[in-house]
């Protein structure tokens, strides 16, 4: 099924376009990329972005890792999230699920795996078992067979059946709306609990995955040595009205724009606000 990026474009099409217009380090943004940025944010019409050379970018990463970036002002944070909201008003998880239970299982399966990889395996699994009772009845061996394309499938199959049994035993077969109860389930940690609380119960939690951890540190928005540090910092700085969707905006930003090896600063909607020294924003002729 076609997935949407922050820009609302089909992901494959978007990445294909990006590849076709990829810049060499040091090259100025193309007319195309600049046009994309203007479409997101009319306020940035007079700016374009240039990437620094790889060596300088490495130095920039070191600075970011040491928390040496300038602070964001409240107005800049507000503006960044205003733009995320304008570009994608209702972001959704890319993990396919049917109900709170299948969401919980999908998130458990997504540890150290991609959402796309999980989505390939779960339709067959959820067709047979979309409740804890059906999952427990399916049994570990059958679950293992159905999810064998996902990394760490043996441990995950064991956890999925064990958490199903615990849900039946302690929560009447329902996913609890409670952090401590969620984190007591086999294979469920703080990140998984945060995703379930956010997506299934509408809580303004911010789950920190590898993308958000990178974006927080690289941009200087939420600097921290551990995921919990970054989560606490984001909860402190993200304006309350944006907290519900902050997790998805930042995850999608990290997944499709602020990439680990080669961030696409030329198409970034917060490039002028970002504190990463690896990019340079400058005034360009109209
Ligand atoms: S947030 Fe934007 S400008 Fe900053 S590093 Fe990431 S892609 Fe580049």
Number of domains into which the chain is organized: 2
Which residue, of 180, 199, 218, is where some domain finishes?
A: 199
For the question of whether the overall pTM of this predicted structure is more than 0.85, the answer is: no
Using DSSP, state whether 283 is helix, strand or coil: strand
Asked if residue 8 belongs to a domain, the reply is: no
- Cα 178 versus chain centre, distance: 22
Gap from CA of 262 to ligand 1 centroid (Å):
10
Gap from CA of 30 to ligand 1 centroid (Å):
16
Catalytic residues: 191, 209
With b for 16 or more beta-carbon neighbours within 10 A and e for fewer, the 202-239 pattern comes to eebbbbbbebbbbbbbbbbbbbbeebebbbebbeebbe
Asked if residue 15 belongs to a domain, the reply is: no
CB atoms closer than 10 angstroms to residue 150: 21
Residue ranges of the chain with per-residue pLDDT less than 50: 1-49, 281-286
219 and 148 in a common domain: no
Asked if residue 170 belongs to a domain, the reply is: yes
Asked if residue 194 belongs to a domain, the reply is: yes
CATH of the domain at 148: 1.10.340.30
- State which of 33, 34, 220, 279 you would mutate to test the pocket of ligand 1, scoring each by most atoms of that ligand within 8 A of its C-beta: 279
* Pocket lining for ligand 1, CB < 6 angstroms: 218-219, 257-258, 263-265, 268, 270-271, 274, 276, 279
Gap from CA of 119 to ligand 1 centroid (Å):
28
Asked if residue 277 belongs to a domain, the reply is: yes
Contacts of 68 (CB under 8 A, 6+ apart): none
What phi, psi does 32 have (nearest 5°)? -65, -50
Q: Give me the pLDDT at residue 64, please.
A: 74
Show the domain range for 62: 25-89+207-283
CB-count exposure of residue 166 (10 Å: 0-12, 13-18, 19+): middle
Which residue, of 168, 199, 230, is where some domain finishes?
A: 199
């Amino acid at each position: 099924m076609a997935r949407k990026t922050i820009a609302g474009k089909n992901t494959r099409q978007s990445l294909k376009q990006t590849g076709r217009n990829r810049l060499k380090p040091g090259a100025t943004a193309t007319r195309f990329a600049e046009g994309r940025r203007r479409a997101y944010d009319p306020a940035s019409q007079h700016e374009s972005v240039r990437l620094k050379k790889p060596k300088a970018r490495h130095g920039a990463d070191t600075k970011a890792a040491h928390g040496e970036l300038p602070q964001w002002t409240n107005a800049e944070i507000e503006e960044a999230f205003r733009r995320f909201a304008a570009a994608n008003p209702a972001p959704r998880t890319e993990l396919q699920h049917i109900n709170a239970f299948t969401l919980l299982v999908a998130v458990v399966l997504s540890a150290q795996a991609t959402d796309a990889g999980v989505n390939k395996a779960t339709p067959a699994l959820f067709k047979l078992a979309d409740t804890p009772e059906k999952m427990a009845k399916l049994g570990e061996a059958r679950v293992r067979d159905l999810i064998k394309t996902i990394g760490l499938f043996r441990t995950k199959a064991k956890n999925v059946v064990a958490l199903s049994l615990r849900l039946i035993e302690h929560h009447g077969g329902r996913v609890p709306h409670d952090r401590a109860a969620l984190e007591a389930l086999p294979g469920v940690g703080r990140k998984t609990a945060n995703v379930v609380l956010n997506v299934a119960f509408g809580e303004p939690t911010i789950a920190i995955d590898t993308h958000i951890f990178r974006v927080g540190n690289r941009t200087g928005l939420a600097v921290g040595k551990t995921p919990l540090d970054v989560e606490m910092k984001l909860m402190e700085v993200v304006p309350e009205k944006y907290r519900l969707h902050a997790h998805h905006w930042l995850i999608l930003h990290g997944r499709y724009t602020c990439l680990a090896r080669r961030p696409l600063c030329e198409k970034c909607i917060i490039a002028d606000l970002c504190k990463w020294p690896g990019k340079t924003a400058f005034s360009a002729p109209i």
